[in-house]
Structure 1
Amino acid sequence: MKSTAKIIVGLALTGLLGACSGHKPATTTVTAKTATTASTIDARPQAQADRKMYYILLSELPGQRTVEDILQIYGAYATSKLKPYFAKAKVPYPPREVTFIALKQEKKLELWARDSGEFRFIRDYGIWDASGVAGPKLRQGDRQVPEGIYRIAGLNPNSHYHLSMKINYPNEFDLFYASQEGRADPGSDIFIHGKAASLGCLAMDDEAIEELFVVTAQVGAENVKVVIAPHDPRTHPLEADSEELPAWTSELYSIISREIKALSPVVKSAKTGL
């Protein structure tokens, strides 16, 4: 069956072609506004049919997919779903920059984007699972989703969790306070991924991670910021009101609050979705 699948994939896709510790290494990223093969297609039924066909074929070839393959498999379908949201927000697709805001308490991930103007809200997604409680991640094995300002460190097209995007936890802020407190192993391997199960990662459903993966690949991972907060500071302030939280949590929450509130002075009244 595998040899047959390889032949079929080779003919059909000429030139084309994973809990959090189970992710295979992410080795390929796509630079800004490249890989636009699928971005101009807006034929959702055909794109969805192609997505299903390529998924079946390439499931027989584990570990061999590239980011370019993912754009061929899911790009047209994901783009056809994203474009109406971008059009409503009056942001060209693909945009120049993207920010993901992940809200742990609300279990929601917001997609914001801009081209030459200000950031605009595009849409949000449900986070199916995010283990742990409010508060920053401190050590390996605490099963905490981190909190802070991060970047996408890599795209993994061969994740055991469908698709995944690695964030650069621990960042400089995390490493500084880990060093100050003598925490030798603050943890690592934090992803946004599919399959709706989490041990310290942000777990989305599979179609959501497909959209997030595609837009990240098309914009360029270096142009994507990830802000993770315990809850939405636009509805009530972030406060380090537990004695169990580190002393520096107030500083961290101030940074996160400024970052989120700077995206738009008009809070949620402008966020209508489709």
Structure 2
Amino acid sequence: MLSLSKHVRYAFVFALFLLAGPAVAEPPLALPVVDQIVVRKGDRVMELYAGGHLVHTIEGIQLGDAPEGPKRFQGDERTPEGRYTIDYGNPGSSYHLSLHISYPNAQDIAYAHAQGRSPGGLIFIHGQPNDWTQSERVPGDWTDGCIAVSDEEIEALWRAVPDGTVIDILP
């Protein structure tokens, strides 16, 4: 069996690294200005539209701890269903950026009040918790009714989704 000196082996390994070239970081997700968001809760996807054309799909979105059915009351841990708008961004969020969803609307408020309850509020699209130190997302559905995406995805949404963007949240 051929035996190579230690120096020859190091030179060979170094040459392999040179041939492989430098590691190239993947560019950040870049999106055009988005004018409609469609969330399909059951499929765990968020579709982003510009000018009526699908421009990107975010898969594996995370929802509230009780993801089935529409949000009705404060504390039910459900994600709303219906048509809302993105009405402001929160750069000081407890999560890696967040975009506020205009829940509750007049129908949501009327339904909850008819039951003698509060509809809740403070529903956002947001990244992972600021104190989350793992490179992957928090596993499973874990929000209190919000829609969570990766930190890279919320950064792209932050740049591409202006206030007033329509969001349709479907079962």
TM-score norm. by structure 1 comes to 0.46
**Displacement after TM superposition at 1:127 (Å):** 3.6
- Return the structure number with greater helix share: 1
For 2:40, the equivalent position in structure 1 comes to 103
Percent identity of equivalent pairs: 35
Question: Is 1:201 aligned with 2:146?
Answer: yes
TM-score norm. by structure 2 comes to 0.71
* Amino acid across the alignment from 1:178: A
SS at 1:214's partner residue? Answer: helix
* Amino acid across the alignment from 1:162: H
SS at 2:35's partner residue? Answer: strand
Residues in 2 aligned to 1:175 and 1:143: alpha-carbon distance in whole angstroms:
16
For 1:17, the equivalent position in structure 2 comes to none
Pick from 97, 112, 115 the counterpart of residue 178 of structure 1. 112
**Displacement after TM superposition at 1:128 (Å):** 3.5
Residues in 2 aligned to 1:193 and 1:145: alpha-carbon distance in whole angstroms:
13
Residues in 1 aligned to 2:121 and 2:91: alpha-carbon distance in whole angstroms:
19
State the Cα deviation string for residues 77-136 of structure 1 (Å, max 9, x = none): 44xx32xxxxxxxxxx44xx611111111110000111xxxx111110024421213211
Residues in 1 aligned to 2:67 and 2:94: alpha-carbon distance in whole angstroms:
25
Residues in 2 aligned to 1:147 and 1:183: alpha-carbon distance in whole angstroms:
20
State the Cα deviation string for residues 130-163 of structure 1 (Å, max 9, x = none): 1213211111111000101001121011111111
Question: Is 1:125 aligned with 2:67?
Answer: no
* Amino acid across the alignment from 2:124: F
- Return the structure number with greater strand share: 2
* Amino acid across the alignment from 1:110: E
Residues in 2 aligned to 1:153 and 1:127: alpha-carbon distance in whole angstroms:
24
Runs of 4+ in 1 over 2 A off after TM superposition: 45-48, 176-179, 181-184
* Amino acid across the alignment from 2:112: A
- RMSD value over aligned CA atoms? 2.1
Q: How many residues align?
A: 135
SS at 1:209's partner residue? Answer: helix
Residues in 2 aligned to 1:185 and 1:109: alpha-carbon distance in whole angstroms:
27
State the Cα deviation string for residues 25-68 of structure 1 (Å, max 9, x = none): xxxxxxxxxxxxxxxxxxxx7995xxxxxxxxxxxxxxxxxxxx
**Displacement after TM superposition at 1:172 (Å):** 1.7
Kept after mapping to 1: 8 A contact 2:46/2:61: no
Residues in 1 aligned to 2:100 and 2:159: alpha-carbon distance in whole angstroms:
14
Q: Which protein shows a greater Rg?
A: 2
